[in-house]
Structure 1
Amino acid sequence: MRLTNLTRIFGTRTAVDAVTLDIPQGQMVGIIGRSGAGKSTLLRMMNRLTDASSGTIHFGELEVSALRGTELRRWQRDCAMIFQQFNLVPRLDVLTNVLLGRLNHRSTAMSVLNLFTREERIMAIAALERLGVEQTALQRAGTLSGGQQQRVAIARALMQAPRLVLADEPIASLDPLNAKIVMDALRDINEREGITVITNLHTLDTARAYCERIIGMAGGRVVFDGAPHELTADAVQEIYGSDRHGAGIDETMTSTSINIPAAAAAAARPSEGIGALAAASA
């Protein structure tokens, strides 16, 4: 993924200001910054949910910022987006919500008639099992907890067979245990399939623990780009600024640390993976 002088202006406000980034295939990248720093707008431009005011987006040789029509829909299939609000259809069962990830792989007639093949249903169940929520397959999505809904949303993204995964504040509304389960799932996708994962995060400890590269934004611009160990106190202050008393950010305020023995025990048994963590939260 290559962004060159990418800019988005809303009226008189510049949300993203001349961002240039080169993200190699297979990286797991965390984007951090205050609310209004431009993180979400940047991800939405990558997925083309929001058009850039200027600048270009490339994925390999593909000029994403120039795509239209069928080619744009194909890109949005290849570039899966996971949202803070989950964006499931509450009245539909979980299995159908996951199967909706196949819509851009199918003919219009089959999509309209809601006809999914046996192979697609098997794929959907396998995706739910991978996320530890296969037992919810026949429940209405609206009856699930927030953590379960986010795992269903990730399973739906997997059904797209994406080349890139973008996650916009995927753990912002989750408790610490479910936040860990979701981040473990994203890291597993990154490591097992070699898929690039770019995620906006509001917690510094999460970014340090899961991301090999951290990008800090302030006022729509990139002010930090480096490895987790390079995210010093000075760098954090440049990203987040100071409070009205001139003090820097207290990182403990953003902690997602888990102090649940069952979760720690499950995490220590790698062979059980995500399923064990899901059981620990039951």
Structure 2
Amino acid sequence: MLEIRKVTRRFGSNTAVRNVELKIDQGQMVGIIGRSGAGKSTLLRMINRLIDPSEGSILFHGKEVSALKGPELRRWQRDCAMIFQQFNLVPRLDVLTNVLLGRLNHRSTVLNLMNMFTREERIRAIAALERLDIAQTALQRAGTLSGGQQQRVAIARALMQEPKVILADEPIASLDPLNAKVVMDSLADINAREGITVITNLHTLDTARAYCNRIVGMAKGAVVFDGPPEALTSDAVRNIYGGEEGAELSEAITSTSINIPAPQPARKSTGQAQPALAAV
């Protein structure tokens, strides 16, 4: 179990995360939703220990990870893989090497300095790329790939860490709808097949409903909703995204659907403009 106890994070006079309490069981797929600036990314970065809480504690299986230092902290960051919106690959290195970098915290400093990977590690990296349907790019420089391909490389690198938890910070925010679906399908498959806990920040309500068995809504740094997708009513959406009580709030404002629409038969123009498909 991952447990977040009364966690607060301040940046000067600004409180980015406010008194958050959550318990997340192993194997859940959790979507964290909310407006920009709601504290979603800050919360994930505290879980991974990229930044520290100002107050409160974070525990995993009863061990306080918010107090770890040195080798124990590196082991936690190995067990808690992070996937970023901007991929965080090394553009000049080939795809295979980028994936192999996920093994760094499993290896000795000497081997890392010599950049030597075993045959078993290379086979495992190729298998991860094959699973994500991008093995054909293994020898290309990472910087030559499309955004969707780069995000799949980042997921393959995370798999190489053999993590117990995967944190995905807006993994589809910069992707088109088709690539967004491929990435979310990949994360859902990892969650289902390996039983790895996946916690992902999302702007898209439809995506959270479709992929996550638990949704956490944040507003102004605080958790204002925590429950299954079916409990996410229009009133709950208003609490998360704002809006006057009783007023209609279209979920389209959070993003467009990543579902690919079925082809429609041609029909005569009515003289009215048809809505365009917006990008995610």
**Does residue 143 of structure 1 match 2:144?**
yes
Q: Which structure has greater helix proportion?
A: 1
Cα-to-partner distance string for 1:166-216 (whole Å, 9 max, x where unaligned): 000000000111000000000011010000000000000000000000000
- Give the match's secondary structure for 1:97: helix
**Does residue 166 of structure 1 match 2:184?**
no
Quote the Cα distance in structure 2 between the aligned partners of 1:166 and 1:256: 22
CA contact (8 A) 2:9 2:17 kept: yes
Quote the Cα distance in structure 1 between the aligned partners of 2:141 and 2:166: 25
Task: Tell me the TM-score normalized by structure 2.
Answer: 0.91
Residue identity in the other structure for 2:166: V
- Give the match's secondary structure for 1:26: coil
Match of 1:240 in 2: 241
How far off its partner does 1:252 sit?
Answer: 2.2
CA contact (8 A) 1:7 1:54 kept: yes
Cα-to-partner distance string for 1:240-269 (whole Å, 9 max, x where unaligned): 0028xx95542123122333559xxxxxxx
Cα-to-partner distance string for 1:44-82 (whole Å, 9 max, x where unaligned): 000000100010000002110110011000100000000
How far off its partner does 1:113 sit?
Answer: 0.6
Larger Rg: 2
Task: Tell me the TM-score normalized by structure 1.
Answer: 0.90
- Give the match's secondary structure for 2:78: helix
1:1-282 equivalences under 5 Å are: 1-242=2-243, 248-253=248-253, 254-259=255-260
Residue identity in the other structure for 2:156: A
Quote the Cα distance in structure 2 between the aligned partners of 1:153 and 1:70: 23
Percent identical pairs in the alignment equals 73
CA contact (8 A) 2:126 2:135 kept: yes
Quote the Cα distance in structure 2 between the aligned partners of 1:260 and 1:115: 46
Quote the Cα distance in structure 2 between the aligned partners of 1:150 and 1:120: 20
Quote the Cα distance in structure 1 between the aligned partners of 2:33 and 2:13: 24
Runs of 4+ off more than 3 Å: 246-249
Quote the Cα distance in structure 1 between the aligned partners of 2:135 and 2:175: 20
Quote the Cα distance in structure 2 between the aligned partners of 1:260 and 1:222: 33
* TM-aligned CA distance change 1:248 to 1:88, over 3 Å: farther
Quote the Cα distance in structure 2 between the aligned partners of 1:257 and 1:123: 30
Cα-to-partner distance string for 1:148-179 (whole Å, 9 max, x where unaligned): 00000000000000000000000000011100
* TM-aligned CA distance change 1:260 to 1:119, over 3 Å: farther
How far off its partner does 1:136 sit?
Answer: 0.2
Residue identity in the other structure for 1:203: T
Instruction: Structure 1: give runs of 5+ residues left out of the alignment.
Output: 263-282
How far off its partner does 1:133 sit?
Answer: 0.3
CA contact (8 A) 2:31 2:200 kept: yes
CA contact (8 A) 1:241 1:248 kept: no
Quote the Cα distance in structure 1 between the aligned partners of 2:152 and 2:68: 30
Q: How many residues align?
A: 261
CA contact (8 A) 2:180 2:258 kept: no
